[in-house]
Amino acid sequence: MTLATRSLIKNLSSALGAQAEREQLIALISIATQTVAPLWPLDSAIAVNPLSGFEEQPFEEVLPEAAALFGARPTLSLNEWRTLMDEGRIDQVSLRKAVVNALGGPDEAFALLGPDLNAYNLLVARLLDMEAEDVPPVRRALSPGMATLARWLAAFFDRNAALRLPGRERGLYACLSEALRHDPALLRASNATGRAWLENAPADPVDMLILAARRDAVGPERRLPWLRAMVASLPGWAAHLRWRSEHAGPATSLGAPACMADLMALVALVQGVVQPAPRAVPDPDCPEDVEAALLVHCGVAQDAPAKWPEAGRARLRAVAALTHAQLGLIFQEAAESSFLGQLAPQLEGASARLAAPQSTLRPEAQAIFCIDVRSEPMRRALETQGRFETLGYAGFFGLPIAINPACAAPARNQLPVLLSPSHVVPERAMPGREAEATAMLARHAALGDAQAMLDTTKSGAIGFAAAEAAGPVAAVAMLARTLAPRLTHRLRQRLIGERGHVLAPAACNDQDHERHDGQGEGIPLAQRVAYARGMFALTGLSPQTARLVALVGHGGCTTNNAFAASLDCGACGGHPGGPNARLMAAILNDPAVRKGLAAKGVDLPHDTWFIAAQHDTTRDEVEIFDRHLVPASHVADLARFERALSCAGAQSRDERAARLDRTADDLLTGAAHWGEVRPEWGLSGNAAFIVGPRALTREVDLGGNAFLHSYDWKKDDDGSALTGIMTAPMIVAQWINCQYLFSTIDNEIFGAGDKTTQNVVGGFGVVQGSGGDLCTGLPRQSLFRDDGTPYHTPRRLAVIVHAPLQRVQDIVLRHDAVGRLVENGWVNLVVIDPWKHKAHHWVRGDWAVRPC
């Protein structure tokens, strides 16, 4: 073989090896991307589990792993847990049960180590009496290099809130790697080696990562955790980029393409220029020191264990070796058990009462609310006003739609983010209100122009002149909004007009439902019938409905609140649910749909009329839509229903005001006040997702802590309805629960910190202070009282299903999205046996059904 041939073979082998390395790294990048959950922008903010990428692992194993990766706390401090116990949120019986479970059962827990001493006593001492000072979390402060990169990321992803960054069309890595080469702050923080690294960076992001891995001697087996650490360096920006790559429309990336490999490569580039400061790892208590402290606390001599049997000494060592994360998890399990221990017996009793004959009287009216926890107090209050029946259904009412606004705004998705819209529904003027709609849209446009002018006072050189010119006007507006917020809010609404009273989704208009334009707008009759039938199947709603049936969406009402969308309907993609309610009501009132339903066995009474409404969860007021369409025969029914809603709203408002330590009138003012940092608690306190008939929970005061989805197992022969509930609304509820849980455990890392020190960046996210990483969770004011104690109790979602055990088990085993949450302990699944009326808690691993 000639020298040239050998050289050719060597070069070919090297090229093949490089290509294999590149392909392997690209595959690992895809896996590492799952380290963070997508972060939706502020205008459509929805709750997500920040650790959703770890759901393949057991919950208790993920806590310390995620804490180490993100520099977060794995649990509340022991003092915080003790405070919750003092407040009665953890009872003694549940804590005792959790301690015994943690020690491996009663035999291990109560076996004597020495005279009058057992492992149970030792562990209770650690939980309740010792170690007042908790191990602080391992924080990862942004290095100068990462802070610089975060500033450039804000400029690249900006939504026209500032001057456009040149070169964005070349892509994130190409644009910012060039910008970083000329950044004076980065150059000052680097040395000659760092500057050389910066100047010679490859043009391709994957090549950059390969080069960095070789420089740092990161072998193939270590590259996945290395890439995950890259993502965790700026988890907020990584989460935004994941949303942008996986969920945003093509228009979002147009002119500014970006992918996760770009971000990882930029992190690697910056770390090569400015090495991140080593994280200060606190010294945890040495197990030997804890042993000694335990003996002192229990009044046992230090040399006494030498005389114990080896099994006793082993139990002492095991208790002393428990980490703060493990101690916190014991408290959390006790909190979960306390909640279920109080709720399960009440549901068992209600299940037994369901076996008795139920009333056949026709309700005065029925109201189908969203399953949102904030609907529960309003439903409970409404049912006290007369013969009213309420049901729970996902707030998008089963309609996979996007609304195409009458103005020039882009289409707005009105469905869960797990789904994609199947139909685009146009928003049009109601018949006879075309002129009013035109005038209202003109006022909206003028208001938008004024807001755009105001925005110029906040950025750019022109801002100085604009601020001088707009100052007097802004001062008057500021005083009005501060001194008379409710009056200002009413005047503003009167000025721009009530959109919902002159515009409506097209199906609410008196037009041919079968008409479709070239863009495919509208919903064909067959699908409208299917969506209507689906509502009856999933809720168990009997076709023998009341004369008046209300479909009640929901939304919040706040002013000057970056997180306003988080108070709207998550099932509608972070938007108010009124449009979906209006569309479904129009569908159900359509004679052609009624005929189609009758052909499929859903024969509605001829005198039933459906109305649409929206529950304002901040003010506990319900707005009725399209009242002009209500037949004269039903006007009196509607009047009685509205009186009942008004009384129910006042009752619910009083209940909620007490939780906020305010008056009911304060809630109405707070919704309009631009300085209000806590207009409502949102979904704080959420603890359960209950699937069953309303009779199961009607007599239970759930305190606004439960998602309630109506379901009748007797009307679901094949289990398809329950499957739909557990594979969609239940998972959304688990996302919400985990966001509240982790935002409470560590509000700095998994939450958004204090609202008063936040700034909106780029029009899509918030940062603390003047810059840095994007905040990924909920603000402190949504979770903690003013004195700093948690209002929200961090506990995993209790999924409680009233259905045959085998039916639930089949769904869990057949659907991985449900099975991994149950098996890995991300939710606590409880089944109420509809025949024996006993609550059973599914235990991970062996799938044995055991009483709670």
CA 503, CA 408: separation in Å to the nearest integer?
14
Closest CA to 737 of 814, 792, 675: 792
Does residue 412 come out as left (phi exceeding 0), alpha (psi in the -120 to 50 range) or beta? beta
Q: In what order do the strands lie in the sheet with 365-370?
A: 388-393, 365-370, 548-555, 609-616, 621-625
Do 213 and 22 touch, CB atoms closer than 8 A? no
Q: Is 510 a residue whose pLDDT tops 50?
A: no
Closest CA to 382 of 366, 359, 399, 393: 366
> Which has the higher per-residue pLDDT, 129 or 513?
129
Q: Which long-range contacts (CB under 8 A, 24 or more apart) does 27-30 make?
A: 28/223, 28/224, 28/227, 29/206, 29/209, 29/227, 29/260, 29/261, 29/264
Lowest-confidence pick of 216-220, 297-301, 443-447, 688-692: 443-447
Using pLDDT thresholds of 50, 70 and 90, give the confidence band for residue 251. Answer: confident
Do 431 and 607 touch, CB atoms closer than 8 A? no
What local confidence, expressed as pLDDT, does residue 279 receive? 59
What local confidence, expressed as pLDDT, does residue 255 receive? 86
Dihedral over alpha carbons 417, 418, 424, 430 (to 10 degrees): -50
CA 505, CA 509: separation in Å to the nearest integer?
7
pLDDT digits (tens, 9 = 90+) for 79-128: 999 999 999 999 999 999 999 999 999 999 999 988 889 999 999 999 99
The encoded tokens of residue 249 equal: 């429309």
Across the range 825-840, mean pLDDT stands at 95
Q: Is 448 a residue whose pLDDT tops 90?
A: no
Across the range 448-455, mean pLDDT stands at 55
Q: What percent of the chain has pLDDT over 90?
A: 68
What local confidence, expressed as pLDDT, does residue 290 receive? 86
Amino acid making up residue 638? L
Beta bridge partners of 366: 389, 549
What local confidence, expressed as pLDDT, does residue 144 receive? 86
What local confidence, expressed as pLDDT, does residue 50 receive? 97
Q: Is 554 annotated as a binding residue?
A: yes
Q: Is 569 annotated as a binding residue?
A: yes
Distances in whole angstroms, Cα of residue 506 to Cα of each of 423, 518, 530: 12, 15, 18
Cβ-based burial of 529 (10 A; exposed 0-12, middle 13-18, buried ≥19): buried
Across the range 424-433, mean pLDDT stands at 84
What local confidence, expressed as pLDDT, does residue 384 receive? 97
The encoded tokens of residue 824 equal: 């890995």
CA 288, CA 281: separation in Å to the nearest integer?
19
Beta bridge partners of 569: 575
Do 391 and 710 touch, CB atoms closer than 8 A? yes
> Which has the higher per-residue pLDDT, 792 or 842?
792
What local confidence, expressed as pLDDT, does residue 16 receive? 47
Q: Is 343 a residue whose pLDDT tops 80?
A: yes
Amino acid making up residue 226? W
What local confidence, expressed as pLDDT, does residue 517 receive? 41
Q: Is 32 a residue whose pLDDT tops 60?
A: yes
Q: In what order do the strands lie in the sheet with 849-851?
A: 706-709, 688-691, 797-802, 827-832, 839-842, 849-851
Across the range 42-51, mean pLDDT stands at 93
What Rg do the C-alpha atoms of the chain give, in angstroms? 29
What local confidence, expressed as pLDDT, does residue 107 receive? 94
Using pLDDT thresholds of 50, 70 and 90, give the confidence band for residue 601. Answer: very high
Using pLDDT thresholds of 50, 70 and 90, give the confidence band for residue 498. Answer: low
> Which residues 6+ apart lie within 8 Å of 51 measured at CB?
37, 62, 66, 738, 742
In our burial notation (b when 16+ CB lie closer than 10 A, e otherwise), range 93-116 reads ebbebbbbebbeeeebbeeebbee
pLDDT digits (tens, 9 = 90+) for 516-559: 443 456 899 999 999 999 999 999 998 889 999 999 999 998 88
Query: Any idea which residue has 């019938």 for tokens?
Result: 529
Q: Is 368 a residue whose pLDDT tops 90?
A: yes
Residue 448 phi, psi (nearest 5) = -65, -40
Using pLDDT thresholds of 50, 70 and 90, give the confidence band for residue 139. Answer: low
What local confidence, expressed as pLDDT, does residue 289 receive? 84
Across the range 773-795, mean pLDDT stands at 96
What local confidence, expressed as pLDDT, does residue 163 receive? 74
Q: Is 142 a residue whose pLDDT tops 90?
A: no
Q: Is 370 annotated as a binding residue?
A: yes
Residue 23 phi, psi (nearest 5) = -65, -40
Using pLDDT thresholds of 50, 70 and 90, give the confidence band for residue 493. Answer: low
Using pLDDT thresholds of 50, 70 and 90, give the confidence band for residue 849. Answer: low
Do 829 and 801 touch, CB atoms closer than 8 A? yes
What local confidence, expressed as pLDDT, does residue 10 receive? 47
Using pLDDT thresholds of 50, 70 and 90, give the confidence band for residue 485. Answer: low
What local confidence, expressed as pLDDT, does residue 403 receive? 92
Give me the helices (H) in 627-728, please. Answer: 635-660, 664-672, 720-727
In our burial notation (b when 16+ CB lie closer than 10 A, e otherwise), range 54-73 reads bbebebeebbbebbebbbbb
What local confidence, expressed as pLDDT, does residue 503 receive? 80
What local confidence, expressed as pLDDT, does residue 232 receive? 96
Amino acid making up residue 679? P
Q: Is 832 a residue whose pLDDT tops 60?
A: yes
What local confidence, expressed as pLDDT, does residue 702 receive? 96
Query: Any idea which residue has 């994280």 for tokens?
Result: 279
CA 344, CA 850: separation in Å to the nearest integer?
13
What local confidence, expressed as pLDDT, does residue 476 receive? 55
pLDDT digits (tens, 9 = 90+) for 737-755: 999 999 999 999 999 999 9
Mean pLDDT, the chain, rounded, equals 88
Do 798 and 708 touch, CB atoms closer than 8 A? no
What is the DSSP secondary-structure string of 520-568?
-BS--HHHHHHHHHHHHHHH---SS--SEEEEEEEE---SS-TTGGGGS
The three-class DSSP label of residue 657 is helix
The three-class DSSP label of residue 392 is strand
The encoded tokens of residue 201 equal: 């960076």
What local confidence, expressed as pLDDT, does residue 513 receive? 43
pLDDT digits (tens, 9 = 90+) for 198-236: 999 999 999 999 999 999 999 999 999 999 999 999 999
pLDDT digits (tens, 9 = 90+) for 676-718: 889 999 999 999 999 999 999 999 999 999 999 999 999 999 9
Using pLDDT thresholds of 50, 70 and 90, give the confidence band for residue 719. Answer: very high
What local confidence, expressed as pLDDT, does residue 13 receive? 43
What local confidence, expressed as pLDDT, does residue 688 receive? 99
Q: Is 2 a residue whose pLDDT tops 90?
A: no
What local confidence, expressed as pLDDT, does residue 411 receive? 85
Distances in whole angstroms, Cα of residue 434 to Cα of each of 409, 430, 513: 19, 7, 19
Q: Is 647 annotated as a binding residue?
A: no
Using pLDDT thresholds of 50, 70 and 90, give the confidence band for residue 406. Answer: confident
The encoded tokens of residue 636 equal: 């009196």
Using pLDDT thresholds of 50, 70 and 90, give the confidence band for residue 427. Answer: confident
Lowest-confidence pick of 410-419, 578-587, 592-601, 688-697: 410-419
The encoded tokens of residue 470 equal: 């707009």
